[in-house]
Chains A and B, each alone.
Chain A
Amino acid sequence: MINKIFKFRGGVVLDHKKSTADSPVENFPLPKTIEIFMQQHIGAPCLPLVKKGDYVYVGQKVGDSEAFVSAPIHSGVSGQVKEIKDVILYNGMKSKSIVIETDGKQEVLPDLKIPDISSKELFLQAIRDCGMTGLGGAGFPTHVKLNTRDRIPEFLVINAVECEPFITCDYRAVLERSKEIFQGIQLCLDKLSIPKAIIGIEDDKMPAVEILKDLCKGDSRIETLVLKTKYPQGAEKMLIYALTGRKVPMGGLPIDIGVVVMNITTVMMINNYIKSGMPLVSRIVTIDGEGIEKKGNYEIIFGTSIRDIYDYCKKEDGSEEDVTKILYGGPMNGLTVRDFDRPLLKQNNAILFMTKKELNLEKESACIRCGRCVENCPMSLMPLMMNKYALLEDVEQLEKLNISNCIECGVCSYVCPAKRHLVQSFKMGKELLRKERSKNG
């Protein structure tokens, strides 16, 4: 039994605004068309396996890649491929995208079958086949993460922290689908021969904690630990430290210290596939923000456009002009959506329609060296110095300041009284460092 909780240094207590916590998951209506991006994960993009005019079924694989670090993509609707087009992703990369016109019949792929998971290799293959990626936000292909080769993890850490404001989809999953979650955890422990699983969850979700603790009674390998609500408790490194007291070495991976981390919805979805044969084609998404009316948790098919979501959830007299920012994910870590035509992607745990008054759009002013960023940085970095040298593009200093260890949690920018765009400059600084390193071989 592990009972000691390790508190991480720094961080902030955020106003959680979990207004959708009591909204049960609803099925989102079937959209007329969906658009499936061929890159919904970290790694190599997929190539379309269908062409214009093809008929596709629900659960049919429409994109795949030969690369190891990649995950196939499936259609969540039945209908006809209307178009294959080029799109530019948020990071400036190009990708293909498949537009499918739904026929409303939702015909399931005829040869959909339950996967064979009789060995570890087959289990990992099954996880790849269903297109699983980290559903907590990062979107890293799950089969790659779980393929630890000859290193057997000592702990499987299950991330149910959900430390971002607004987002409640994991919480709802625990309340409504806890059995599937548990079966998923047990499956992973069995198939990957991991001796122990620890579920980490914050103390602002007590109803979920009760359910999880109750289920843990049935399996001595699994334990639920309650953590103090503090951002970024859900960041992988902070979570592992809190639950095991182990620190992921700088530049290393959790497996280096015997740990594998999975999001709680990810294990649930793995279980769904293993039991039903239906690959990852939809997920629970929290829809929130002052820009809409029908806030809640919805099961939405990937590829559904932001506009469809907006139109369904908007205020009666609302218009798109009222929305200042749309976020893929939470307000601390989320990415901004360029326009309403963008589709829902696998790693999007929330879509937030933010209005001007919810956002702090104050202008940046000079750093006054108050030290709040240093005091609150969970990674014990010197954000004010990193900001200075990132703006000077001084790569040598940035390396000395360990900029690559920054997890971009946003705490420094959040507490900065001068409203400096710290994280933005670190993203730039890291890119500079990466370029410099690849130049020097």
Chain B
Amino acid sequence: MGKLLVASSPHIKDKSSTSRIMLDVIIALLPTAIISVVYFSYISALIIVVSVSSSVLFEYLYNLIAKKEHTEWDLSCVVTGLILALNMPPVKSSIILSVIGSFIAIVVVKMIFGGIGQNIFNPAAAARIFLTVSFSSLMTEYVAPFTDGIASATPLAIVDADKLPSYLDLFLGKTSGSLGETAAITLIAGGIYLLARKVISWEIPLTYIATTALFAFVFGEDPLFSILSGGLMIGAIYMATDYTTSPVTKKGKFIFAFGLGLMTAAIRSFGSNTEGVAFSIIFMNALVPLIDRFTSPKTFGRVKN
């Protein structure tokens, strides 16, 4: 007699999987990765390869040493490595720094907290902050594109209004900045792909960007410039939407993204640091459990007693 499987319903599942979701994020980020190589030449490619492979390696080693089940297959470490690389300035020192960053992101921020789904902070954002604080001069060593490494200030750090890049240059990413934070166009294209694949929903990126623009305007800055420059696009579309470190409810996503926008605009206008995205994300990450608790939906048929 054949052995029949006895299990709880449901007996069918859809085709989604964690690794497929992560693969979609990687696909969405590819145009940005490619354009960074076009703008900043081979150094970009090197940073990406080193960052991704060290992230995977750290996760592999952690699981090996901690005797945990291997989780590299879910590709989330590849996404972390890729996003971290895109957060690095396109200079040689970033190659070494990305290895340190990967260690912080994967081992300290993610795996020690229990691995995928358990970390409180976005690994790439936390690693970027760690590197910015520890190696501030190296992490702000920006170069202009197509120049083979001539130092240049990022648009947000430029004080002289005449030297500001045009909106078109910002949109196309022809400006100095981290590998993947310059070209709004490819970041948006990837974002549309993720929306179409239903990997992310519009609430966080749109609310984040809109709120940043709104408060930039309130604080007397140029809203459009604020949207197109710095790490806002990559932060809003790829980092703030990280499942683990963002709220699960719709209402919660609005609140989370509103907080992000307000903080980013405030840091950019009043802070000593010109870039506020990573800091805002880390700060709002810490509030996620609270937001989830207060925005949990009212269950069907719930009546007040």
Residues of A at the B interface (CB closer than 8 Å) are 8-9, 12, 14, 165, 237, 241, 247-250, 252, 319-327, 331-340, 354, 358-362, 365-372, 374-375, 377-382, 384-385, 401-402, 405, 408, 410, 413-419, 421, 423-424, 427
Contacts and interface: CB of A to CB of B under 8 A. Distances in A.
B21 A370 contact: yes
Given A249-B301, A324-B4, A365-B74, A414 B12 contact: yes
Contacts of A408: 9
Contact of B12 (A338, A359, A372, A416): A359
Contacts of B8: 421, 423-424, 427
A405 B116 contact: no
A408 B8 CA distance: 10
A368 B299 contact: no
B188 interface: no
B117 interface: yes
A51 B301 CA distance: 48
A423 B12 CA distance: 12
Contact of B296 (A326, A339, A372, A382): A382
A382 B7 contact: no
Q: 9 smallest A-B Cβ distances: which pairs?
A: A410-B10, A371-B248, A424-B8, A360-B13, A320-B2, A380-B297, A417-B16, A321-B2, A379-B300
A381 B74 contact: no
A324 to B, nearest CB: 5
B22 to A, nearest CB: 9
Contacts of B71: 365-366
Interface in B248-305: 248-250, 292, 296-303
Contact of B7 (A325, A369, A384): A325
Contacts of A366: 71, 115-118
Contact of B2 (A322, A327, A333, A358): A322
B72 to A, nearest CB: 12
B285 to A, nearest CB: 12
B135 interface: no
B4 A362 contact: no
B248 A382 contact: yes
Interface of B: 1-2, 4-14, 16-18, 20-21, 71, 74, 76, 115-118, 243-244, 246-250, 292, 296-303
Contacts, number: 160
Contacts of B297: 374, 377, 380-382
10 contacts: A248-B301, A249-B303, A319-B2, A334-B9, A368-B244, A369-B243, A374-B248, A377-B297, A384-B248, A416-B16
A247 B301 contact: yes
Contact of A327 (B11, B18, B292, B300): B11
Chain B binding surface SS class: loop
Contact of B249 (A335, A374, A402): A374
A332 B2 contact: no
Contacts of B292: 382, 385
Contacts of A237: 300-301
B4 A338 contact: yes
Nearest to A383: B248
Contacts of B5: 324-325, 336, 359, 361
A250 B2 contact: no
Contacts of A427: 8
Contacts of B9: 331-335, 408, 410, 413, 423
A339 B116 contact: no
Contact of A371 (B1, B6, B249): B249
Contacts of A335: 9
B261 to A, nearest CB: 20
Nearest to B12: A331
Contacts of A247: 300-301
A331 B18 contact: no
A315 to B, nearest CB: 14
A250 B303 contact: yes
Contacts of A413: 9-10, 13
B2 A381 contact: no
Nearest to A407: B300
B1 A320 contact: yes
Contacts of A333: 9-10
A332 B10 contact: yes
